[in-house]
């Protein structure tokens, strides 16, 4: 999880600090399977509350559309009718699926939303305490490929190629939701906007003490350490990593991030962070570069404009210190923790 400061909210929270008629308003609520915090400054309390109200209503609307955990969601309708017919869908669902295919093509399939049956296979293995058999993985992989998704070129309609294909938007839904509520919040004249969405954060405007914000990238091997601070403004910072979400099977921990080509959880990446102006790109690529080989990941990031990345890797034995890989553009944009050399090493800017 990336953040400067995190408070575990067990109840719905609303906070407001007012100075000279202008307020800093913060609200947190559990939506889309995680705690979401929205903070705005520079407007009246009434205007701020109105904007945040609209934002959370939009988040709940999107959750009802994109969730795979709601039986009657439009996404589940697509999955349930795989291989049968075209489905007319909400424009947002169409847009996020279309964007997903774009990132699948960009990453040569490292990012793939048809990974749903593979997710289900590994979840089932947790209950049996046995790693899936290779024959079962191979069977499921026949339904895991973004080319199994058909997008109508003119109408908001989706079709899946055959039975067994299913979509899960967990690796891009947060970024898309952030982009949608930003369109709401930016209609107001806020001095700053902060959105904390689980493992992804978006920061607009100025922080209290400087022109940019400092976002802490956590040490994936120690909850009490921050590896480094990234300076960001009008950008989203998204981290994917198996240190927060994982399954334990037969006494061994497996990351929740699955490689859609092999069918197995990734093991070479401890965490992957992407910094981008586009929250959708940050969300999708933080998953993709967790799957891709390190050199390919850094090469991809270097080809993209205004996109940076931090990858933390460890060798297969887990005995050697971890290595931090930085993209070129982060020079001068990070502040490393003083004890970082004791816990790991920073590779050359690839």
Residue 111 and residue 146 in one domain: yes
Give, for all 350 residues of the chain, the pLDDT tens digit.
233 333 333 233 445 554 444 589 999 999 999 999 999 999 999 999 999 999 999 999 999 999 999 999 999 999 999 999 999 999 999 999 999 999 999 999 999 999 999 999 999 998 889 999 999 999 999 999 999 999 999 999 999 999 999 999 999 999 999 999 999 999 998 999 999 998 899 999 877 666 778 899 888 877 778 888 998 999 999 999 876 778 888 888 888 899 999 999 998 899 999 999 999 999 999 999 999 999 999 999 999 999 999 999 987 655 567 889 999 998 777 887 665 545 555 665 44
Residue 234 and residue 349 in one domain: yes
Residue 30 and residue 179 in one domain: yes
Residue 58 and residue 151 in one domain: no
In a domain, 347, yes or no: yes
In angstroms, the CA 205 to CA 273 distance is 21
Domain limits at 310? Answer: 206-350
Residue 249 and residue 305 in one domain: yes
Residue 313 and residue 259 in one domain: yes
Residue 217 and residue 309 in one domain: yes
pLDDT of residue 337: 65
Residue 233 and residue 337 in one domain: yes
Helix, strand or coil, per DSSP, at residue 69: coil
Q: Of 329, 311, 228, 207, whose CA–CA distance to 269 is shortest?
A: 311
222: domain CATH number?
3.10.520.10
CA of 95: how far to CAs of 137, 154, 155, 157, 277, in Å? 30, 12, 11, 10, 18
In angstroms, the CA 50 to CA 44 distance is 10
In a domain, 214, yes or no: yes
Positive or negative: CA dihedral 50, 53, 59, 62: negative
Residue located via tokens 């401890």: 270
In angstroms, the CA 237 to CA 309 distance is 9
* CB distance 193 to 185 below 8 Å: yes
pLDDT of residue 340: 59
Which residues, other chains included, contact 159 with Cβ-Cβ below 8 Å and sequence gap of 6+? 85, 86, 87, 149, 150, 152
Residue 1 and residue 111 in one domain: no
Per-position b or e across 98-127, b if 16+ CB within 10 A of its CB = ebbbebbebbebbbbbbbbbbbebbeebee
Q: Is the pTM of this model over 0.75?
A: yes
Residue 103 and residue 33 in one domain: no
> For the chain, how many structural domains are there in total?
3
């Amino acid at each position: 999880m990336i953040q400067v400061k995190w408070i575990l909210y067990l109840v719905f929270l609303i906070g407001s600090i007012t100075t000279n008629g202008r307020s800093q308003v913060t609200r947190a609520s559990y939506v889309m399977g995680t705690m979401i915090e929205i903070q705005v400054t520079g407007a009246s309390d009434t205007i701020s509350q109105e904007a945040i109200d609209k934002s959370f209503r939009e988040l709940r609307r999107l959750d009802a559309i994109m969730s795979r955990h709601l039986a009657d969601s439009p996404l589940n309708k697509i999955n349930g009718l795989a291989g049968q017919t075209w489905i007319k869908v909400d424009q947002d669902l169409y847009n996020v699926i279309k964007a997903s295919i774009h990132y699948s093509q960009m990453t040569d399939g490292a990012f793939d939303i048809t990974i749903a049956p593979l997710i289900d296979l590994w979840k089932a293995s947790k209950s049996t305490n046995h790693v899936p058999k290779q024959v079962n993985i191979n069977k499921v992989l026949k339904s895991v490929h973004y080319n199994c998704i058909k997008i109508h070129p003119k109408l908001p309609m989706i079709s899946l190629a055959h039975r067994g294909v299913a979509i899960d938007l967990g690796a891009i839904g947060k970024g898309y939701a952030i982009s949608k509520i930003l369109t709401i919040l930016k209609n107001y004249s806020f001095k700053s906007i902060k959105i904390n969405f689980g493992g992804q954060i978006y920061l607009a405007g100025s922080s209290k003490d400087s022109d940019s914000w400092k976002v802490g990238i956590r040490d994936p091997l120690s909850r009490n350490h921050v590896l480094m601070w990234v300076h960001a403004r009008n950008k989203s910072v998204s981290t994917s990593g198996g240190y927060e979400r994982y399954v334990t099977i037969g006494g061994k921990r497996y990351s929740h991030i699955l490689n859609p080509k092999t069918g197995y959880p990734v093991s070479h990446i401890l965490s992957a962070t992407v910094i981008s102006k586009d929250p959708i790109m940050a969300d999708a690529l933080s998953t993709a570069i967790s799957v891709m080989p390190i050199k390919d990941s850094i090469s991809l990031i270097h080809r993209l404009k205004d996109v940076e990345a931090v990858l933390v890797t460890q060798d297969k034995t887990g005995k050697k210190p971890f290595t931090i890989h930085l993209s070129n553009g982060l020079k001068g944009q990070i502040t490393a923790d003083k004890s970082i050399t004791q816990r790991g090493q920073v590779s050359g800017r690839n």
